[in-house]
């Protein structure tokens, strides 16, 4: 196995073990608000430090971007580790078992390796650029649906920044009409991993961060899927607006949401 991917797996498992130890002790945790409708616990911080300790020991000259600690490490290094130590913190704090550790390695801004680990189910999703994607060491592929009929989609409802809520609700209405259903489970990293593994046929969300999507984007691409922004462009890492599915379903999703895109969501000034 690629040594960088192996280190990421080790770090993700270590963080996951720490998270699981606190699952039944959430009431003892110190919890702080980060922003409107957004919280951080001491488990988020401890898990991130566990990951950083392992990655720094292996690659002390690399750069690190963590959700809780921000930018750290060597200036100018082309390797950047992007870390979400607990994606789905609100789920974790409520005992809702849908959360994950997400770690990605970017080389010159392009995802090179990615790991998403669900510590409750012990599902390990991994990807290496050019090397395919796996779930628990088994190769995975996106589904082959040609249209929205019968599709199971994932999404995330805008709950922090509701600037584009009306546009989002229009997209939701357009996509729900012909599908088998839409799921909002609360962990974008796992939603993306589920698309790669064929558990979801497609996914879209607005306003995500790099640490939410970096590993999942690589998983989907290596599993044969398409990832774009809401207008079909490649600006999703900057905008955080993501739409992904198998190639033909992706086209259908784009067509369905197009009438509901504002100029801002198209990447143009409003």
Angle between helices 42-58 and 3-21 (to 10 degrees): 160
**Residue ranges for the binding site?**
67, 84, 86-87, 212
User: Closest Cα partner for 181 from 193, 172, 170?
Assistant: 172
User: Closest Cα partner for 125 from 241, 237, 13?
Assistant: 13
**Residue ranges for the binding site for Mg(2+)?**
67, 84, 86-87, 212
Q: Where are the alpha helices (DSSP H) in 125-243?
A: 165-176, 188-197, 210-222, 236-239
Alpha carbon 47 to chain centroid, angstroms: 17
Q: Report the alpha-carbon distance of residue 152 to residue 155 in Å, rounded.
A: 10
Burial 63-76 (b: 16+ CB within 10 A, else e): bbbbbbeeeebeee
């Amino acid at each position: 196995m690629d040594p960088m991917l192996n280190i990421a797996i080790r770090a993700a498992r270590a963080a996951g073990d720490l998270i699981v130890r606190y699952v039944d002790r959430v009431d003892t945790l110190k919890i702080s608000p980060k922003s409107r409708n957004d919280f951080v616990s001491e488990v988020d911080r401890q898990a991130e430090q566990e990951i950083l300790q392992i990655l720094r020991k292996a690659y002390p000259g690399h750069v690190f971007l963590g959700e809780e600690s921000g930018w750290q490490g060597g200036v100018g290094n082309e390797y950047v580790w992007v870390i979400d130590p607990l994606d789905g913190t609100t789920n974790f704090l409520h005992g809702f078992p849908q959360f994950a550790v997400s770690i990605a390695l970017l080389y010159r801004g392009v995802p090179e390796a990615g790991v998403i680990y669900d510590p409750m189910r012990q599902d390990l999703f991994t990807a290496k650029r050019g090397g395919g994607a796996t779930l628990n060491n088994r190769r995975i592929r996106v589904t082959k649906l040609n249209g929205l009929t019968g599709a199971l989609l994932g999404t995330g409802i805008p709950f922090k920044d509701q600037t584009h809520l009306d546009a989002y609700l229009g997209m939701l209405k357009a996509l729900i009409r012909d599908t088998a259903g839409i799921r909002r489970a609360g962990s974008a990293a796992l939603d993306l991993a589920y698309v790669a593994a064929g558990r979801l046929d497609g996914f879209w969300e607005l306003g995500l961060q790099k640490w939410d999507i970096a590993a999942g984007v690589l998983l989907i691409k290596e599993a044969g899927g398409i990832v774009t922004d809401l207008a079909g462009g490649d600006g999703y890492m900057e905008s955080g607006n993501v739409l992904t599915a198998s190639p033909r379903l992706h086209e259908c999703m784009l067509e369905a949401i197009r009438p509901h895109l504002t100029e801002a969501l198209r990447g143009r000034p409003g």
